[in-house]
Amino acid sequence: MEDERILDLINSKADRVSAIQLRSDLDQAKTRELPDQDRKIARGRLASFLLNVASKATEQVAKRSADELVDYVMKGLGM
């Protein structure tokens, strides 16, 4: 289930080339037969991608909230 959510984010937010790498990273991060260093690198790329997506979402929410607050205040002031 978690993999599906991550894959949905990858498919909707990453460019085509990055999506290929990130899907591979997801598989590598779970493959215990790989050296720990390879798995660590894959997890790092996934974490970076997820943090970037979360940061952009936070920025969008903050901007929308600020816009709504300004609209509310302007209406309250009769402007």
Question: Quick one: pLDDT at residue 1?
Answer: 64
* pTM, 2 dp: 0.76
d(CA 73, CA 61): 18
Is 90 exceeded by the pLDDT of residue 20? yes
Q: Kindly list the domain boundaries of the chain, sorted by start residue.
A: 2-76
User: What single DSSP character describes residue 77?
Assistant: T
> Model confidence over 30-66: pLDDT tens digits?
999 999 999 999 999 999 999 999 999 999 999 999 9
Is residue 2 very low, low, confident or very high in pLDDT (cuts 50, 70, 90)? confident
Alpha helices in the chain (DSSP H): 2-13, 16-30, 36-76
